[in-house]
Amino acid sequence: MARSLPPGQPEVLADRGEVTVVRVGEAVAKAHPAGTDLGTLAARLRAAASPALADVLLPPLRPARPDRLPDGRPVTRWPYGAPVDPAAVPWEAAGTLLARLHATDLAALGPRPPAGAPARAARALARLRRAPTDPAHAKAREAAEQILATTVAASATGQARAAAASGAPAAEPGSGERPDVLPEAAADAGSGDRAGDSAGPSPDVLPEAPGGALCHGDFHLGQLVRHPAPEGDWRLIDVDDLGVGDPAWDLARPAAWYAAGLLPGADWERLLGAYRAAGGGPAGDPWAWLDGPARALTAQYAALALVRSARDGRPPGEQDLALLESCLRIAALS
């Protein structure tokens, strides 16, 4: 991978499963899982390179197209950006960038795939169903599975409608698998996706969510960088799940953390306040449109916590337990 980048000492920024991110000088190369659909990834790269998103997304390096490594994994190339300092989290910048992303004129982008967040929930459900049950957390597991099953069923219905409107086949829920996505934002940076067969549908016929907005699909603090480093403007990175969908999913993760007591209320208000000040979201009670996706993200990360616990033979951590308890509260309210 490093041979195609500028001279310098390679630095591995992330290496999780089939996803590897390497920096050489001021350039970064990301190796995606071997099953990633090249047509879908190319459509997302074209969107990231669009002038319409120049003040929102970090654009790929030219040429903006994926190549393949000798092991079959697609690789994309990006400028280096400085990551978030945990001691000075730019919540206002994050909220403003999300609002700008959601307000993007879709007509300026050409073909767009569906946003990937609902499919991530489907993959979490599939992994949970394969994992052995820990009797100590059986009720929380049941709650997480029920929340995710409801989400996946609703998503499948929406995808079928979108496919019918576009004349394309709907994506198969739960296809592929994603490396572990830990609750900590820093651990998520650079995670990738197995989007399906490389012989999948052309981006010209990918189903879209009618009336949806352009969404990041996997927003967290690891997806923010300053470019040029170290003091440039904030930009969103990682377009693996970029696409058309419900913008509430981009705020669902911090909303879920806030509801579970893992994100301080002041930080949540900074993010949500900046998002709404920049024109994001409908007026009125934000939980009227955030509640469903936030429940789904709570269950998704609770499910992955149980999968990790079963795989590693250790009990869930403190943050994991907070998410499991949040699932139980959601089930009690249902």
Between CA 254 and CA 293 the distance in angstroms is: 11
Quick: pLDDT tens for 33-54.
998 999 999 999 999 999 999 9
Quick: pLDDT tens for 199-223.
333 333 334 444 589 999 999 999 9
Between CA 14 and CA 35 the distance in angstroms is: 19
The number of residues making up the chain comes to 334
Question: Could you tell me the sign of the dihedral formed by the alpha carbons of 83, 234, 16, 2, in that order?
Answer: negative
Between CA 161 and CA 302 the distance in angstroms is: 29
DSSP 8-state class, residue 140: H
Confidence of residue 176 (pLDDT cuts 50, 70, 90): very low
**Omega cis (within 30) before 63:** yes
- The rounded mean pLDDT for the chain is 85
* pLDDT of 9 higher than 90: no
**Which residue type does 181 have?**
V
What average pLDDT does range 275-301 have in this prediction? 96
Weakest mean pLDDT among 109-113, 120-124, 132-136, 193-197: 193-197
Between CA 249 and CA 180 the distance in angstroms is: 19
pLDDT of residue 129: 97
Residue with tokens 């079928």: 160
* Domain extents in the chain: 2-333
What average pLDDT does range 53-64 have in this prediction? 93
pLDDT of residue 163: 54
pLDDT of residue 8: 72
Residue with tokens 């700008």: 100
The separation between CA 121 and the C-alpha centre of its own chain, rounded to angstroms, equals: 10
pLDDT of residue 145: 97
**Selected residue with higher pLDDT from 128 and 164:** 128
pLDDT of residue 211: 56
**If DSSP codes are grouped into helix, strand and coil, which group holds residue 162?**
helix
Q: Are 9 and 207 in contact (CB under 8 A)?
A: no
Residue 261, both tokens: 């007591």
Q: Are 149 and 129 in contact (CB under 8 A)?
A: no
Between CA 31 and CA 47 the distance in angstroms is: 19
pLDDT of residue 160: 61
Quick: pLDDT tens for 289-331.
999 999 999 999 999 999 999 999 999 999 999 999 999 999 9
N- to C-terminal Cα distance for the chain? 49
pLDDT of residue 199: 30
Q: What are the CA-CA distances from residue 49 to residues 20, 61, 77, 105 (Å)?
A: 22, 9, 12, 14
CATH of domain 2-333: 3.90.1200
